[in-house]
Amino acid sequence: MCLQDVHSRLQSKKCHSQRPQLLAGTCICYILPGVLLWYSILFCASPGAEDELKSLLEDVFFGWSTENKWANCVIVNLFDHFIANQEYVQSGLIIVLCWYLFGILKRIVLSFVDISRDEYDLESLLTLYEKYSKTIYQCISLSEQALSLLLLLLYGFVIFSIFSVTTFLMRAKFSRLPISIVINEATVFLVMITGFSFLSFQAIAIHDAAVKVKNSVLVTVSKSNSFDWDIKCLILTMAAEFPSKVVVTGWGLFPLKRSFFSRTTSGIFTYAVVLAQLGEETSK
């Protein structure tokens, strides 16, 4: 049972097609490789680049190069685009895929809210909750099996790239660097921050949706006139535990919740401030 099948069964309203969003996300993945390709073309067209191109090609292909400048340029650009830049393309495509799957998960969880609001009979609510919670837990389990390790590697790469570029931007002497290198590093930083934020917010939305389900169940139970306290206690206990079980993790090492996002972003900001202060001290 795939997530899309579960989503189709549970949704009472037809969802707006996400094809334009997926297409836009895929195009965004090629912004950084496009900038790097443009930089490589400008480098090839610059005067005096023949020796540097030849040296670069010899470093990559174990001493082999051609005598033609433009042949060397084409080979270097093809190598950069299809091999060196794939780390950015593939990570971007994985982010788009995870963002799409997390969107389906969020809607699966939220589908319970609208249905539970119409149930005031506690026995019906309990039966409904058991059915939907089992489905939601199964979806979370499937996503963890498929994406958990991938998310760990993806977040490791993205966060490492952010810290690496932050180190460069905070310590570099911009007056001594070509503007193309600065633009390249700034583009890497913006793309990585954007991917990190979009993916984190979508994962956080799954847990927030689970909190909404819990609150909806609590409201429904509070409106009930039933005096069956055993069922009320059982429903409230199950609802209270629901958000803790509906959360995406990075291979079980870190839960993708608001606390993770706030700690990570504050760590990046603090790191940048410390580097800036160290740079001021060393320049004195």
Taking only the tens place, the pLDDT of each residue in 135-170 is: 999 999 999 999 999 999 999 999 999 999 998 888
- Supply the pLDDT for residue 240: 94
Q: Count of domains in the chain?
A: 1
Residue 239 pLDDT:
92
- Flag whether 82 is in a domain: no
Of 31-35, 81-85, 124-128, the least confident:
81-85
**Cα(80)–Cα(184) distance, rounded to whole angstroms?**
14
The pLDDT score that the predictor gives to residue 209 is: 95
Whether 168 maps to a domain, the answer reads yes
Whole domain around residue 276: which residue ranges? 88-282
The region of weakest confidence among 157-166, 233-242, 272-281 is: 272-281
Query: How does pLDDT run across 181-208, given as a tens digit for each residue?
Result: 787 788 889 889 999 999 999 999 999 9
Q: Angle CA(184)–CA(187)–CA(193) in degrees, nearest 5?
A: 145
Tell whether the model's pLDDT for residue 7 goes beyond 70.
no
Asked whether residue 261 carries a pLDDT value surpassing 60, the answer given is yes
Backbone angles phi, psi at 255, to 5 degrees: -85, 140
Q: Are 248 and 203 in contact (CB under 8 A)?
A: yes
d(CA 94, CA 100): 10
pLDDT value for 84: 64
Question: Considering the domain boundaries, does residue 203 fall inside one?
Answer: yes
* Residue 58 in domain: no
- Report how far residue 274's alpha carbon sits from residue 270's, in angstroms, rounded to the nearest whole number: 6
83 part of a folded domain:
no
Please give the model's pTM, rounded to 2 decimal places: 0.83
Residue 13: predicted pLDDT = 47
Query: Is the dihedral angle over the CA atoms 272, 93, 4, 144 positive or is it negative?
Result: negative
Q: What is the CA radius of gyration of the chain?
A: 25
Assess if residue 125 is contained within a domain.
yes
pLDDT number for residue 4: 56
Closest CA to 77 of 48, 38, 49: 38
- The answer as to whether 255 is a domain residue is yes
* C-alpha torsion 213→214→220→225, nearest 10: 160
270 lies in some domain: yes
pLDDT value for 163: 93
pLDDT band per the 50, 70, 90 thresholds, residue 3: low
